[in-house]
Structure formats: structure tokens, C-alpha cells
Structure 1
Amino acid sequence: MDYDALAAELRKLRESVAGVTDTVIAAVDGIPIISDVADSVDPLNISALAAANLGIARQAAEVTRQGTLNQTVVFSSGGYMAVYAIGRIALLVVLGDSGLNLGRLLYESRPVTERIGSILTP
């Protein structure tokens, strides 16, 4: 696995979207693969929460027959947590502060998740 390429994708996303504070790539079972986070953020905890979030959201999409789940976004009083499905193998977690440019994140996330998926499945 090319960890340098994954790290570069996380760094580019943080640098190109205002308000992104932390990013994690994890397996769908919640085990972190690589992270770009502040010392105060535990990648293992965030990955586990994101995997649970994604699992519940996938079930909701299936039960309501709304197709394949792409992402979830948690809106909080102090910021955001966006979770993106990377196929059925992994997920991308993006944490943002209250100044997160959510529109820009949504725009940038699709090509980023596609590139990450390509790196994870050579």
C-alpha cells in the first residue's frame, strides 16, 4: 500500500478546503489506515465512530430504497464530521471547524475518494 500517496491526498484535501481540521482513512470495520489529525484527536476513536455512522446510514439507504450511500455529514454546534464511503472497503473521515466550506468539501470529495480507492485497490 502506498502510504505516501494516501498521506498526500489527505494533505491536499486539508489544504484545498477551508475549515478542514483533521482527516482519517479507515477500513470499513473502523481500523485506521492513515490519519492527518491534531494531537487532541484519536484516530482510532474517530474511525470507530465513523464506521458505525456509515453502517447505520448504509442500512437506512437500503431500507428506504434510495440507492447506494455515498456520504454522511454530521452538523454540530462547533463543526462537522463528514464520512465518505470508499467502495465497500474503506471510508474517509473529514472533521471541520465551524468555518468549514461545506460546499467546497462536497465538490472536492468525489475525486479524492476515487483516487484513494484506486490507491487502496491496485
Structure 2
Amino acid sequence: MAVEAEVLNELHRLRARVPQLTGALAASTDGLVLAQDMPDVQPEGLAALTAAALGVGRRMVDLSARGEFCELLVRGAAGYLATYAAGPSAVLTLLAGDRVNVGRLHLEGRRGGARIGALMATRSAGERLQAGGGEPPARPPGGRPLGALPLRIPPQSRHRP
């Protein structure tokens, strides 16, 4: 399955886990749409504005010596817009109604951003390999891929209390 399809699946899962979400968008840090599930919003415009807000947010965090950018929350009269870092090359933006549990929004947004970041890293590694650059992933001891390792289950105790 292509990475973009997996990212879209993650957006659908986020919307299922947080029913008050009204839209979800994954974009590159330069403002290009990677995947979107936003029926009522123009995704290209929001992706471009998200990239601009990300740049401002990163600069604010840097200027105030607060570490690496993690997230940005904007509250409007009708709800929330939350943006989460998704690795070094992507960003996740979620739209939610005004009755959303903001703690739950952050929990799911952070997890979703981490998953999307991992998917994008997989894509980047694959592109480097196809271009002939980079090293193939290391194999575990024995030289077999991880899926080929035998599953070892410890024996159950025969003694009952």
C-alpha cells in the first residue's frame, strides 16, 4: 500500500476515534497536501496556511528558547484548529467542533502525528534506496528479516496455586 493511502487511513482512524473532528489534513512542511479528509474546507488553502503557521510557530519556539516545535492550537468561536508536528517533513492539522475534549484532541493528534511522521520516514527511506543512495535497513542477527524470526513463547508453568 502506498504511503499516501496509509496516511489517509490514519486520518480516517483519527476521525473515528474523535467524533467531534470535522476534518483532518496531512501536509508537507512546504504546504503540499499529502492526504485529506475535509469535506467542508479547501485543503490546498489550509495546507498552505498551515505551512505558514508552522514557520511562525517554529520561529516563536526558537526565539523563546522552548525547544523543538511540537504543536499549535487555535481556537475560534465555532471550534478548534490544531496542528501537530509529524516528523521533520510533514504536519497534521485537525479541525474540531467547539465541544471537543481538548485533552483528547491533543492525545490523539500527537499519536496521529507520530504515526504519520513514521510513515513519511518510511517513504523517504524508500525513495533514497530507489535513487541508489543510503544504506539498506540493517538486519537482525541471523540475517533474516524481522518477520522471519521464529516466535519463542516461554513454556507455561504446570504448577497451580
Q: RMSD of aligned C-alpha atoms?
A: 1.1
Q: Which TM-score applies when normalising by structure 2?
A: 0.72
- Aligned residue pairs, count: 121
Could you list the runs of 5+ residues in structure 1 that have no partner in the other structure? Answer: none
Task: Report 1:8-19 matches (<5 A).
Answer: 8-19=9-20
Runs of 4+ in 1 over 3 A off after TM superposition: none
How far apart, CA to CA, are the structure 2 residues paired with 1:6 and 1:103? 23
**Could you report, residue by residue, the CA deviation over 1:62-83 in whole angstroms, capped at 9, with x for unpaired residues?**
0000111100000111111101
> Hey, which of these two has a bigger chunk of strand by percent?
1
- Are the aligned partners of 1:25 and 1:34 in contact in 2 as well (CA < 8 Å)? yes
- Are the aligned partners of 1:6 and 1:34 in contact in 2 as well (CA < 8 Å)? yes
Q: Does 1:112 align with 2:109?
A: no
Q: Percent identity between the aligned chains? A: 32
Could you list the runs of 5+ residues in structure 2 that have no partner in the other structure? Answer: 123-161
How far apart, CA to CA, are the structure 2 residues paired with 1:19 and 1:52? 25
- Are the aligned partners of 1:18 and 1:101 in contact in 2 as well (CA < 8 Å)? no
- Are the aligned partners of 1:18 and 1:99 in contact in 2 as well (CA < 8 Å)? no
State the match for 2:82 in structure 1: 82
The structure with the largest alpha-carbon Rg is 2
SS at match of 1:18: coil
Relative contact order higher in (CA < 8 Å, ≥ 6 apart): 1
